[in-house]
Structure 1
Amino acid sequence: MATFEADLIFSDSLNSDANRYTLIELPLEIAAQFADSSDETSGERPGLVIRGLETDEAVICTPSTTYAVRSVQTSNTMLIVRPQEQEDNGADRMVDDTTVYTIEDCVSAYQELTPCQPRLDRLRHILEGTTYRGPVEEARTVFRRIRDNAEAELYSTERLLNTVQTSDAELLEGLKAIGALEIEGVWRLLDAAYLEEALKFLLASIIVEDMPMDRLRASECIVVMEEMDTPDAVVRHILEQFSDVRTDVAGEPTYNLSEKKVGRFFGEQLLANAEHRQTPMHAFLKSWREAVPEALSIDLTMLEGLYLIQDASTGAAIQYFPKAQLPLDSKARFETLFQTRKKWTHGDILPYISDLAPSTKKLDAILLKYARMSRVGQQVVYTSRYAVK
């Protein structure tokens, strides 16, 4: 190992309690980006952004990943030094030309970045106040704003990124997951009743017009939806939400209507709107079958992560219990789950925790951190490791 001698002197402005500098240990994947962008002519640098409101614990985001920031204490004090500028006349230069460094700061901690789940919990709450209910209601809303001289609380992509702790790519994935669409440069949620009405009209039109459900074209669907005065953006959004998108030989997207996505939507609507959010199983299955076109099949597996069966021995009732309304934090998620049920089978709990880790191995580690595993006959059962309030 190469060594060299240097003289250290304390800066006149040094204040050991000021912490003028903060050290950040970069993960290899981020450090590699800095190394790859060393070409001064390219003008490009890795996009690292600190995101969070004043009351949030800050996260650092790349264009595709979110990192939690954690302070790590060290046993040794680290010195931040810089070479001292020498006077031109060399009057103060050391006789042996030993390099002189000025100590600018002393630190005993550094910031560590670890990949974490994007903090999208406030995304739906933000957009719920901007629900789109169709052109007629939209015109009324705009009129009321003008009359009352009120500003619209609408969110562009940039404004969402300044509010939600997530990377750019993860934000777009989160928006897609909650069914948001961009209308005139701002993101909106479709009112559930309006979406249900539009989807029913589109499905009825597809059947009446004998359109191929596996090769739908946006242009043709837009034409049949003109009778309902549905905006083009909404029609395309419905096709993207309830179909698997393909591209034909001419490069034009075609839409293969998804039984699972359509069935899941109508099933969730019935569960969410049921009295006390609980329905006798036989009544639910009957209503669900009536809501979905006969050409499309239904199956309870379509509703994974949306329901619990009460009195499993008889299957007496089905209760609405959506994963989307659970906390994103792992500890809070498990607390909510065990407050709802003291015991969970592996098959029942898995849909509600599958997003907490990127791999099965890490998910198993999280599961065993918060739950005790036992066997009841041939079945694996999980109970809380901690007292449930």
Structure 2
Amino acid sequence: MADHNLRFSASSLAEQGSFKLMELPPELCQLMEASLLSEGDGSSLKIKGKPGEDAVLCTKDKTYAIRAVSLSNSILVVTSPPDSELNEILELTQTIPKLHKLNALLKGKEYGEDEEDNDDSMNIDVQDFTYADAQAMIQASEAELSRGLRERRILQINESLRPISSAYLTKIIQFILNSLAALSLNHESVPIEKLCTALADEHDVPRTVSAQVMGWFGDINELEGRWTLNVDAVVREAGLGILKESKDKSVDKDELIISWKELGNYLSSKDHYSEDETVKYFPVSSLPADPAQRFSDLFLTRSKWKNEDIIPFLSDIAVNAKERDKMLLKYARATTDAQGIWYTARAQYNG
């Protein structure tokens, strides 16, 4: 076995205990090697976490949980000082980004239609929570944070982060569709400036807002100044807006429900006295991020779940399908009948 001398600094004796060894998974080893070959400074790796939080390591696009692992066999021996052994290392495991904190940090900062008289009205007295704040406080990689803001429909207004109200977003979508029809614009190649001008002049939608909304629901070609509308995404959001308006009651199911099958934002049920099927707003964002609490809430809402119904409600707490299946094995019992796989709670959850 090869021997290697490790020295962290010229004062390694005085700094005993100030360093820990971390075992890198293969993809991170490749990232570090590529950084060294390109003479990078390794700044793409960041450790995030405040006192009381479990630290994570973030690359540009992934988040890894850090945990100390005791060594049952001391495979590494530190020869200075004498008789000193390494009895634990830090292990990295890919994990989901801690984006749920955004809900609490942005509470009360919703951006709605009543603020939209003109661009100057955006300078209102709201305590700023900026993108830089989110980078510092949210345990997520840069790519995951950007995707999380987009999926949660969070605007960047004068550097502040503001979640747009559902009712106002639904109105903007309606304004966009009406403007495309009124201006005879092809939704596959929309002149951005022309549409932004129409939205500002006719509906008082600030350009910075309309531009971001267009980015959420299609592809922007900045070089050509054109936007391609994603029809499916717009249809889903419009339908979701209708559900949110009726979130305290069930509504009749219609053709639009097909678009929501993979979103995890609704529950469907059949009336015991008829064949009618109803739909009720049930967003993933309202559920706890902790897996045990998530399953508890799900089984309190419905005692028995079909496989295809429960899976969308687990997508944001599992890194991949393998981890999701482990959660199902841990927290649920599976049974199979002619209709497919069903899950019930392993524990009896009491409200």
TM-score range relative to shorter protein: 0.7 to 0.9
Shift of 1:109: 1.7
1:138-175 per-residue CA deviation (whole Å, 9 max, x = no partner) reads 856746x4xxxxxx432332211111111111111111
- After TM superposition, list the pairs within 5 Å mapping 1:128-277 onto structure 2: 128-133=107-112, 134-136=115-117, 142=123, 145=125, 152-225=126-199, 226-243=201-218, 245=219, 247=221, 251-252=223-224, 254-274=226-246, 277=248
Shift of 1:43: 4.8
How far apart, in 2, do the equivalents of 1:189 and 1:174 lie? 12
1:248-304 per-residue CA deviation (whole Å, 9 max, x = no partner) reads xx9425333333322222322222222x6222416xx5xxxxxxxxxxxx5212223
Distance 1:316 1:29, change over 3 A: closer
Q: Is the 8 A contact 1:346 1:380 kept in 2?
A: yes
Number of the residue aligned with 1:7: none
How far apart, in 2, do the equivalents of 1:353 and 1:163 lie? 24
Q: Is the 8 A contact 2:270 2:277 kept in 1?
A: yes
Deviates more, 1:133-142 or 1:52-61: 133-142
Q: For residue 165 of structure 1, give the secondary structure of its aligned residue in structure 2.
A: coil
How far apart, in 1, do the equivalents of 2:18 and 2:170 lie? 56
Q: For residue 136 of structure 1, give the secondary structure of its aligned residue in structure 2.
A: coil
How far apart, in 1, do the equivalents of 2:251 and 2:61 lie? 44
- After TM superposition, list the pairs within 5 Å mapping 1:1-389 onto structure 2: 1=1, 19-38=17-36, 42-76=39-73, 79-81=77-79, 101-103=80-82, 106-133=85-112, 134-136=115-117, 142=123, 145=125, 152-225=126-199, 226-243=201-218, 245=219, 247=221, 251-252=223-224, 254-274=226-246, 277-281=248-252, 285=254, 299-304=256-261, 305-311=264-270, 314-389=275-350
Q: Is the 8 A contact 1:342 1:383 kept in 2?
A: yes
Distance 1:253 1:344, change over 3 A: farther
CA RMSD of aligned residues (A): 3.1
How far apart, in 1, do the equivalents of 2:155 and 2:149 lie? 8
Q: Is the 8 A contact 2:96 2:319 kept in 1?
A: no
Q: For residue 188 of structure 2, give the secondary structure of its aligned residue in structure 1.
A: coil
Q: Whose Rg is larger?
A: 1
Shift of 1:191: 2.3
Distance 1:271 1:27, change over 3 A: same
How far apart, in 2, do the equivalents of 1:253 and 1:336 lie? 46
Distance 1:3 1:67, change over 3 A: closer
- TM-score, with length taken from structure 1: 0.76
Sequence identity, in percent? 28
Unaligned segments of structure 1, at least 5 residues: 5-10, 82-100, 146-151, 286-297
Q: Number of aligned pairs?
A: 336
Q: For residue 60 of structure 2, give the secondary structure of its aligned residue in structure 1.
A: coil
Q: Which amino acid aligns with 1:117?
A: I
Q: Is the 8 A contact 1:14 1:103 kept in 2?
A: no
How far apart, in 1, do the equivalents of 2:289 and 2:308 lie? 20
Deviates more, 1:110-119 or 1:251-260: 251-260
- TM-score, with length taken from structure 2: 0.83
